[in-house]
Amino acid sequence: MRGSVKRSLTLCFLLGSACAYFGSPLFVSGRGQSGAKNPLSKWRPARDYSGVGYAGAAACAQCHAKESRTQAATPMAHAAEAGAACEVLKSRAPLTFTNGAYTYRITREGERAVYTVGDGVSTISEPVLFCFGQGVAGQTYIFQHRGAYYESRVSYFQESKGLDITILHPRGVPASLEDALGRPMSREATQGCFNCHTTAAVGDSRQQFERASPGVSCEACHGPGERHVAAMRAKDLSDPKIFDPTGLGAIELSQEFCGACHQSFDTVMSLGGQGGAANIRFQPYRIYNSRGHLVDDPRMSCVACHDPHEELRHDAAYYDSKCLACHLSTAGELKTRARSAPACPVATKQCATCHMPKVELPEMHYRFTDHWIRIVKPGDAVPR
Ligand code: HEC
Ligand code: HEC
Ligand code: HEC
Ligand code: HEC
Ligand code: HEC
Ligand code: HEC
Ligand code: HEC
C-alpha cells in the first residue's frame, strides 16, 4: 500500500496544483456558468443548497422525456427504495438467515416490509423504512429502533439471492438481541447514506429524511430545480437557473462531481489511503492511479465511458472506441496529435477485459471492475 500511496502522490505532484485544489473553496465554483447570475453555480451533489426548492423528477420528465425515460431505469435511480416499494423484497420475501441462536426474517405484511430478529426467547420487529442499494451486488435495510436509525446486520446479496452479514459488520455471533439487530447510526452516518442514495435529503441546512425521495434522480446531480421549472414554464430563457455539469472540466467532473458519491482520490487519501481491497469500488481513485492516464483529459472523465442518464453498458466491445480515442489499434498505424498512445502488442479489441479486470470483493460477494487501467500479469497482486 505504501508504494501506491507514494506513487499517487507523485502523480499528484505531476498534475501540478490540481490536488491542492481539491477541497479548497475556490475549486467548488462551477466553470462555464455565469457565477453571479446563476444561484446554482456552486452546486455539487450531496451538498446542502438552501433556499431553492426541489421540483421532483416527475416535473423534469414533462420536458426532458429522453433523459427521464432511461435514467429512471438505472440502478442509480433505484439506489434506495421505500421499504414498501422495494422490488427485491416484493419478489424474494420472506428472506431468512441464522447466526448462532439468532434468526432473521424479512417479510412483507400487506403493504409493509418488516425486519424481525429473534433469539429463541424474544423477538424485535421493526418496519423497513428504506432498502439501500438496487441489489446489483447487495441491499441493506434501514429502520428505526428506539428513536435511532439502524443499519441492518444482515443484507441481501445478489450472488446467493439470500441474506448474509452486511459488509463491515462483525461476522461473529452477536452478544445480545439488540446487538443482533444491527448498528445504530450516528447522525453523520445517516446523513451520509441519505446524501449518496437519495435525492433532496438536505435542504435549508437541515436533514429532511422524511421528505427525501429515494434514489439518485435528476436533482441529486442537477440541484434543486423549482426555479428552473418556473422559468422554463414562463418561457424565460434568459438564465436556465439549474446546474449544468457540461461546463465542468474532466478532473472536476470525475473527482468532485461523480466522486462526491463514488469517492474521489482526495477522499480516499483522507481516509488513510483506504488500503485493502475495498477501494476497488472507488473508481475515481482507481483511475487517478492509472499510469499514463491523465485525468484532466476529457477522454478519461467518467462521462466519456458512462452516460449518467443511461444503464451501464456491459459489453466490453462498447468501450473499445473509448480506449482507441487515444491508443493506436496496431503498431503500424500512423500517430496523430490526438491518437499517439501505443498500440497493444497482444490484441485489437475487448481491451477492458484484460486491462480493467473484474476483482472479487469477498465481503460484497461481487466482482467489481478495476478502473486502475494497467497491464495485468498472471499472479500479480491487485494494486492498492
Ligand atoms: C417546462 C419545461 C421544463 C421543465 C419542467 C424542466 N426543464 Fe430543464 N430545460 C428546459 C429547456 C427549454 C431547457 C433549455 C434552456 C436553454 O437552452 O437555455 C432546459 C435546460 C436544462 C438543462 C441544461 C441547462 C443549461 O445550462 O443549458 C438541464 C441540466 C435541465 N434542463 C434539467 C432539468 C431538470 C433536472 C428538471 C426537473 C427539476 C427540468 N430540467 C425541468 C425545459 C424544462
Ligand atoms: C448522489 C450520489 C451519486 C452521484 C453524484 C453519482 N452516483 Fe453513480 N451511483 C450512486 C449509487 C448510490 C450507486 C449504486 C446504485 C445501486 O446499485 O444501488 C451508483 C451506481 C453507478 C453506476 C453503476 C450502475 C450499475 O449498473 O451497476 C454507474 C456506472 C455510475 N453510478 C456512474 C456515475 C457517474 C458517471 C456519475 C457522475 C456523472 C455518478 N455515477 C454520480 C450514487 C451516485
Ligand atoms: C459517499 C457516498 C455513499 C455513502 C455515504 C453510502 N453509499 Fe452506499 N453506495 C455508494 C455508491 C457510489 C455505490 C455503488 C458502487 C459501490 O458498490 O461501491 C453504493 C453501493 C451500495 C450498496 C450496494 C448496491 C447494489 O446495488 O449492489 C449498498 C447495499 C449500499 N451502498 C448501502 C449503503 C448504506 C446502508 C449506507 C449508509 C450506512 C451507504 N450505502 C452509504 C455511495 C455511498
Ligand atoms: C448521476 C448524475 C446525474 C443524474 C442523476 C442526472 N443527470 Fe443530467 N447530466 C449529468 C451530467 C454529468 C451531465 C453532463 C453530461 C456530459 O457532460 O456529457 C448532464 C447533462 C444533462 C442535460 C444536458 C445539458 C446539455 O447542455 O446538453 C440535461 C437536459 C439533463 N442532464 C437532464 C437530466 C434529467 C431530466 C435527469 C433526471 C431524469 C438527469 N439529468 C439526471 C448528470 C446527471
Ligand atoms: C475508459 C472507460 C471508463 C472510464 C473513463 C470510466 N469507466 Fe466505469 N466502467 C468501465 C467499464 C468497462 C466497466 C465495466 C462494465 C461491465 O462490464 O459491466 C465500468 C463499470 C463501472 C461501474 C459499475 C461497477 C463495477 O465495478 O463494475 C461503476 C459504478 C463505474 N464504472 C463508475 C465510474 C466512474 C465514477 C468513473 C469516473 C471516475 C468511471 N466509471 C470511468 C469503463 C470506464
Ligand atoms: C486519454 C487518452 C487515453 C485513454 C482514453 C486510454 N488510454 Fe491507455 N494510455 C494512455 C497513455 C498516454 C498511456 C501511457 C503510454 C506510455 O507513455 O507508455 C497509456 C497507457 C496504457 C497502458 C500501459 C500501462 C502501463 O502501466 O504500462 C495500458 C495497458 C492502457 N493504456 C490501456 C488502456 C485501455 C484498455 C483503455 C480503455 C479502457 C485506455 N488505455 C484508455 C492514454 C489513454
Ligand atoms: C487478451 C488480453 C488483452 C487484450 C484483449 C488487450 N490487451 Fe493490451 N496488453 C495485454 C498484455 C498481456 C500486455 C503486455 C504485453 C507485454 O508486456 O509483452 C498488453 C499491453 C498493452 C499496452 C502497453 C503497450 C506498450 O507498448 O507499452 C497497451 C497500451 C495496451 N495493451 C492497450 C490495449 C488496448 C487499447 C486494447 C484494446 C484495443 C488491448 N490492450 C487489448 C493484454 C491484452
Q: Kindly tell me if the per-residue pLDDT of 337 is higher than 80.
A: yes
Task: State whether the beta carbon of 342 lies less than 6 angstroms from ligand 7.
Answer: yes
Nearest residue CA, atom 37 of ligand 2? Answer: 258
Mutate to test the pocket of ligand 4, among 221, 256, 310 (most ligand atoms within 8 A of CB): 221
Closest CA to 11 of 346, 286, 283, 351: 286
Q: Kindly tell me if the per-residue pLDDT of 1 is higher than 50.
A: no
Cell numbers for 314, please give them: 456491459
Q: Measured in angstroms, how far is the CA atom of residue 318 from the centroid of ligand 7? A: 17
* Cα separation, 382 vs 384, whole angstroms: 6
pLDDT at 278: 74
pLDDT at 44: 84
pLDDT at 159: 94
Name the pairing type of β-strands 162-165 and 358-361.
Answer: unpaired
Which residues sit with their C-beta closer than 6 Å to ligand 2?
A: 45-46, 75-76, 79, 133-134, 136, 196-197, 216, 220-221, 257-258, 260-262, 302-303, 306, 308, 312
Q: Kindly tell me if the per-residue pLDDT of 16 is higher than 50.
A: no
Task: State whether the beta carbon of 327 lies less than 6 angstroms from ligand 5.
Answer: no
Q: Kindly tell me if the per-residue pLDDT of 3 is higher than 60.
A: no
pLDDT of 25-72, one tens digit each?
222 333 333 444 566 777 888 776 667 889 999 999 999 999 999 999
> Where is 89: in which H helix or E strand?
helix 87-92
Task: State whether the beta carbon of 244 lies less than 6 angstroms from ligand 1.
Answer: yes
Averaged pLDDT for residues 68-94? 96
Residue pair 293/287 in contact (Cβ under 8 Å)? The answer is yes
pLDDT at 266: 87
Averaged pLDDT for residues 70-84? 96
Name the pairing type of β-strands 95-99 and 80-82.
Answer: unpaired
Q: Measured in angstroms, how far is the CA atom of residue 189 from the centroid of ligand 3? A: 12
% of the chain exceeding 70 in pLDDT: 86
Cell numbers for 349, please give them: 479489441
* Cα separation, 373 vs 295, whole angstroms: 12
Number of the ligand closest to the Cα of 198: 2
Q: What is the mean pLDDT of the chain?
A: 86
Q: What is this structure's pTM?
A: 0.93
Averaged pLDDT for residues 236-241? 91
Looking at the DSSP bridge assignments, the partners of residue 142 are 130, 151
Q: Measured in angstroms, how far is the CA atom of residue 198 from the centroid of ligand 2? A: 11
Choice among 105-119, 261-275, 277-291, 318-332 with the minimum mean pLDDT? 261-275
Number of the ligand closest to the Cα of 137: 3
Cell numbers for 283, please give them: 473508481
- Residue extents of the structural domains in the chain: 2-26+248-369, 32-72+194-246, 80-185
Ligand 3 atom nearest to CA at 192: 5
Alpha helices in 167-234 (DSSP H): 177-181, 187-197, 218-222, 226-233
Q: Measured in angstroms, how far is the CA atom of residue 257 from the centroid of ligand 5? A: 15
pLDDT of 254-287, one tens digit each?
999 999 999 988 888 887 765 566 788 999 999 9
Sorted by sequence, the CB contacts under 8 Å of residue 58 that are 6+ apart come out as: none
Ligand 4 atom nearest to CA at 246: 17
pLDDT at 206: 61
Mutate to test the pocket of ligand 6, among 287, 323, 372 (most ligand atoms within 8 A of CB): 323
pLDDT of 123-153, one tens digit each?
999 999 999 999 999 999 999 999 999 999 9
pLDDT at 39: 66
Q: Kindly tell me if the per-residue pLDDT of 23 is higher than 60.
A: no
Q: Measured in angstroms, how far is the CA atom of residue 197 from the centroid of ligand 3? A: 7
Q: Kindly tell me if the per-residue pLDDT of 291 is higher than 50.
A: yes
Closest CA to 267 of 36, 3, 114, 45: 45
Averaged pLDDT for residues 73-82? 96
Residue found under cell 467489481: 368
Q: Measured in angstroms, how far is the CA atom of residue 133 from the centroid of ligand 3? A: 6
Ligand 2 atom nearest to CA at 134: 18
Number of the ligand closest to the Cα of 339: 6
Number of the ligand closest to the Cα of 74: 2
